[in-house]
Amino acid sequence: MTALAGGLLAQGALATLAVLVAVSARGRARNLLAGVACAALSAAGAVSGALALSGATVTLRMATALPGAELVLAPDRLGGLLMLLVGSVGFLASVYAIGYVHGASASRTQWAALALFLLGMQLVPAAGDVVAFLLAWELMAAASTVLVLAEQAHRPAARQAAVWYAVMTHLSFVLLLAGFAALSATGGTTSFAGLAGTDAARPGATAAFVLLVVGFAAKAGVAPLHVWLPRAHPEAPSHASALMSAAMVSLGAYGILLVGIRLLPGGPTWWSVLLTALGAGSAVHGILHAGVATDLKRLLAYSTSENLGLVVAAIGLTMLLRTHHVPGAAGAALVAALLLLVSHAAFKSTLFLGAGAVLRATGERDLDRMGGLAHAMPWTAATFGVGSLGAAALPVTGGFVAEWTLLQALIHGVRPADRVVAVVVPLTLGLIALTAGLALVTFVKAFGIAFLARARSVTALAATEAPPSMRAAMVLGAVGVLALGVLPGPVAAAAASAIGVDGVRVAGLGGVELTGVGAVLSPAALVGLGAVVALPALALVLVVARRRPATTDVLGWGCGGVRTSPRMQYNATSYAEPVMRIFDDALQPRRDVVVTHVGESAYLAERVRFAQHHDDVVEVRLYRPLVAAADALADRARRVQNGSVNRYLAFSFTALVVVLLVVVA
């Protein structure tokens, strides 16, 4: 038995152990033992992924109850990269959950669902055929739905969120089932190895591509199929939110990558233009709504839609540039897609874990009721700050390296002589530049409003630091964000080898060189140069500060006020007001002003209350009419449900006859 085969089998054994511990153990012992078992499961998945990424191969076949059907596990290099990603995030989430889960939320069901969720996510990229892939996908979907419901006892909104999520995730499954059926009929096999390189010009290929892309985009949270994401992620426990946002949605992008690059390469130009437009539009839509959100976890959820939009846009650009014979830029775009996935997994898991620490300490998700948390929660503030740097794609973080790689592909991919490329690439570049600017604004708001200034509520004032296991997970996540930014070369080279791209190599001190476009980035050298410049300046400042006379702190002029109130500070709503006004037509906010007058006076106001709300335009214009139509159809269907057993038997008999006629025909 090879090490990779042993790792795959160990995951199944550890998942079984975790479920048994979750069901049988009690109290704190359940948290500790189940958390350790889930962490071991994730570690086994990460090791298996690393082995597959390094070139190890194995094919495991397992019989099923269905005649002629078997489950095949055969992870390749790309699947190994995703297994490593899922395992790393799963390890952080499992360690974090040991300290986070407490009280009524520490249920047997939640821990068992977490173990099955981790196993399902590992099996998806390890699957070697359509049957295994769909079974693993459904296991992942079902377990994550249970996790969204985990805190429904004290969060009533979790039930509605779970309904939205269940509908969208099963719609995704139906589309994938139909798409893979069409693709298997076209290719004549259910094996991914046999389907690789299927001719995109064959009958049924276009239908398969559209069905699969829409199904995977729904799971990735790409607009306009994102509607479940800002509902489900905030309501799930924070370690589950981190898994869903950093790992699960990455598997949706993996599916699009699998279809567009591996299974159906060389499709018509409109396929790539569709993906690029879908991704760029989702990026702008997601970051706009994140920029004006006041719920911290909802902000992070919309940011996920933005980041996965960038990944999908990069995949679309790869397909477009390959079709139009720009191989160097196409390779850079494909590597950028994988770097975006890896860096997003690092900083988004760190951010959701930090948001969970804030929620556990204050009971608040509303940024307008936070503030000053850096004093009481320095570890959380520091790690959330690092995650925010990564999400804003600032230097020395993985987010910066990933977006730099994507921008290099866009800049070097412009071909004025090619009309399609000359239009699509500059437009995409402009939308991504807009997204990057709004991301910076968004995460300055998220960190500054939550952790700086003065506390805006009693709960924020009474906050305490997170337990040790939670701090350890957040620190490891923050270290990952910085490591990806300072030493990106090995990761970029591994990503290139995973997808079969030449022209990427390690440069200098862990830097990355894109030989296909002639670009080099060496963050470690920049950090060293910055340290050489900054350290003497810091020493000079310290010397001068020691020689200064003692100072006395006094209250400065406060416009007639003796002390400033926390209500006089900027909050999340006021900070986002310029963004709201600039993009008023896209966001369509609702503003309410309520004036309470003194007595019967029409002129002397006692209180003025301002409220501003914004709904997702896609949800309002697209999904609410669909929900209303479904409700109306359900009301009509109730007329058939009259309680008559004879009528029900007649319906069953009629359905049986129809099925038999179809089979005979």
Interval 227-264: pLDDT, tens: 999 999 899 999 999 999 999 999 999 999 999 999 99
- Residue spans of beta strands (DSSP E) within 398-547: 504-507, 511-514, 519-521
Instruction: Using the CB atoms, write b or e for 353-390: b if 16+ within 10 Å.
Output: bbbbbbbbbbebbbbbbbbbbbebbebbbbbbbbbbbb
Predicted confidence at residue 313, as pLDDT, reads 96
> Angle 504-508-514 (CA atoms, 0-180°, nearest 5)?
20
Confidence of residue 557 (pLDDT cuts 50, 70, 90): low
Q: In the sheet where 504-507 sits, what is the strand order?
A: 504-507, 511-514, 519-521
Predicted confidence at residue 467, as pLDDT, reads 93
Asked whether the predicted pLDDT for residue 555 surpasses 70, the reply is no
Confidence of residue 389 (pLDDT cuts 50, 70, 90): very high
Q: Are 198 and 237 in contact (CB under 8 A)?
A: no
- Going by their DSSP bridges, the two strands 70-73 and 60-63 should be labelled as antiparallel
Q: Are 412 and 333 in contact (CB under 8 A)?
A: no
Predicted confidence at residue 90, as pLDDT, reads 96
DSSP string, 536-564: HHHHHHHHHHHHSPP----PPP-TT-SS-
Interval 484-514: pLDDT, tens: 999 898 999 999 999 988 888 888 778 888 8
CA atoms within 13 A on the CB side of 594: 4
Quote the pTM value: 0.91
The number of angstroms, rounded, from the C-alpha of 617 to the middle of its chain's C-alpha atoms is 21
Asked which of 150-164, 167-181, 346-360, 534-548 is least confident by mean pLDDT, the reply is: 534-548
Predicted confidence at residue 506, as pLDDT, reads 85
Q: What percent of the chain has pLDDT over 70?
A: 95
Asked whether the predicted pLDDT for residue 275 surpasses 70, the reply is yes
How buried is residue 167: exposed, middle or buried, by Cβ count under 10 Å (0-12/13-18/19+)? middle
Predicted confidence at residue 338, as pLDDT, reads 96
Q: What is the dihedral of CA 275, 233, 488, 85, to 10 degrees?
A: -90
CA distance readout (Å), 367 to 158, 234, 241, 292: 20, 13, 18, 11
CA atoms within 13 A on the CB side of 12: 10
Predicted confidence at residue 75, as pLDDT, reads 93
Asked whether the predicted pLDDT for residue 558 surpasses 60, the reply is no
Predicted confidence at residue 68, as pLDDT, reads 62
Interval 203-219: pLDDT, tens: 889 999 999 999 999 99
- The amino acid at residue 120 is G
Average pLDDT, the chain: 88
Predicted confidence at residue 134, as pLDDT, reads 93
At a CB cut-off of 8 Å and minimum separation 6, what does 166 contact? 145
> Which residue blocks in 104-149 are alpha helix, DSSP H?
108-126, 130-148
Asked whether the predicted pLDDT for residue 449 surpasses 60, the reply is yes
Q: Determine the Cα–Cα distance for residues 294 and 449; give it in Å rounded to an integer.
A: 10
Q: Please give the average per-residue pLDDT across 550-560, as a whole number.
A: 58
Q: Determine the Cα–Cα distance for residues 117 and 451; give it in Å rounded to an integer.
A: 32
Beta bridge partners of residue 62, listed in sequence order: 71
Predicted confidence at residue 203, as pLDDT, reads 87
Asked whether the predicted pLDDT for residue 610 surpasses 80, the reply is no
Beta bridge partners of residue 607, listed in sequence order: 596
Maximum Cα–Cα distance across the chain = 98
- Going by their DSSP bridges, the two strands 519-521 and 590-597 should be labelled as unpaired
Whether the bond into 268 is cis, omega within 30 of 0: no
Q: Are 469 and 450 in contact (CB under 8 A)?
A: no
CA distance readout (Å), 151 to 146, 157, 240, 364, 376: 10, 9, 11, 15, 26
Interval 132-191: pLDDT, tens: 999 999 999 999 999 999 888 777 888 889 999 999 999 999 999 999 999 998 888 889
Which own/partner pairs from 358-363 qualify as long-range (CB within 8 Å, at least 24 positions apart)? Answer: 358/296, 358/384, 358/450, 358/463, 359/238, 359/296, 359/297, 360/100, 360/238, 360/466, 360/470, 361/463, 361/464, 361/465, 361/466, 362/457, 362/459, 362/460, 362/462, 362/463, 363/459
DSSP string, 430-441: HHHHHHHHHHHH
At a CB cut-off of 8 Å and minimum separation 6, what does 126 contact? 8, 48, 52, 73, 74, 75, 79, 83, 136
What angle do helix axes 398-413 and 378-391 make, rounded to 10 degrees? 10
